[in-house]
Amino acid sequence: MLSKEHISEQLHTKWAACNIWYKDVTGSTNDDAGRLAEEGAPHGMLVVADKQETGRGSRGRSWETPAGANIAMSLIVRPKVPIESISMLTLVMGLSVAEGAEQAINESISDSSFTCNIKWPNDVILADRKICGILTELHMAPEGGISDVVIGVGINVNMAHFPEEIKDVAGSLLTGCGHRIDRSLVVARVMERFEQNYEKFEKSHDLSLLKDQYEKRLVNKDQRVMLLDTKKPAEVRGSEDVEEKFVKSGEAQGTALGITDKGELIVRMDDGEIKEVTSGDVSVRGLYGYV
């Protein structure tokens, strides 16, 4: 059951999701949160919807949130960090979703030991399938400086079937662990983990205090990766043979070593060069399988 009351009953936080705005159906929780933030909503306010009809993913993609199955939520934060640190919040939330979803699964299933991992930078993975999408939006104050940040999160929880175009990549907690999981419990555990992780981030203004936690779950670490230039025209990036061309050239392949304190992926290229990769510059693909 997903409801404001049921989330609050299972929540143990100081500020994250202590204020909840719930709707059965909405267009976009990020849009709702943006309006509430503009109206003065407090730091840590959470917008949650059972069904989201016009949710947005990264790079303009849509994110399906049918009623009764998934989680659509957006958290309002008012960070006291430099503006150049804001992009790291997406990784902070990705880590928090992985930790919180895993905790919810293992609380729900006796003697279970399921693990949620991360494909850099913020794809949460369970049983080799992506279960989460995150969209972070920064709002500036009229007088300058940061007004607020809205972190939108979509988590596939009890969804069993997926559209044809994503069925080879997408999964849910249900498909990953074989059991239906209480969505309100997942929200509560993710918010608890985010509060703890956010406070570390705000203290250091980077990921230095979270690096070990993150790399422990990083499926790319010590794995072969291929870097695809996202600045290429969309029609080139989307062509069927673009990855094959990169593989044949060998110029964009290497081994992921971990992340920097700023959340960049450290890659040792095949020619020995060490690159620090920013997520806005390239798309990282595994040479074998989803990662």
User: pLDDT tens digits for 147-160?
Assistant: 999 999 999 999 99
pLDDT (tens digit, 9 = 90+) per residue, 200-238? Answer: 999 999 999 999 999 999 999 999 998 876 555 434 333
Q: Which two tokens stand for residue 234?
A: 């969309």
For residue 58, what pLDDT is reported? 54
Please give the Cα distance from 12 to 34 (Å, whole number): 25
In the predicted model, is pLDDT for residue 180 greater than 90? yes
The residues near 175 (Cβ < 8 Å, ≥ 6 apart) are 127, 129, 159, 160
In the predicted model, is pLDDT for residue 139 greater than 80? yes
Angle 262-268-269 (CA atoms, 0-180°, nearest 5)? 125
Please give the Cα distance from 276 to 136 (Å, whole number): 22
Total length of the chain? 291
Average pLDDT estimate for 48-53: 93
In the predicted model, is pLDDT for residue 76 greater than 90? yes
For residue 248, what pLDDT is reported? 39
For residue 147, what pLDDT is reported? 96
Widest pairwise Cα distance in the chain: 56
List the chain domain ranges. Answer: 4-217, 224-286
Residue 165 — pLDDT band, cuts 50, 70, 90?
confident
pLDDT (tens digit, 9 = 90+) per residue, 86-120? Answer: 999 999 999 999 999 999 999 999 888 899 999 99
- Alpha carbon separation from 68 to 3, 51, 62 (Å, rounded): 11, 7, 18
What is the CATH number assigned to the segment(s) 4-217?
A: 3.30.930.10
Average pLDDT, the chain: 88
Full-model pTM: 0.89
For residue 56, what pLDDT is reported? 65
For residue 243, what pLDDT is reported? 44
Average pLDDT estimate for 70-97: 97
For residue 249, what pLDDT is reported? 41
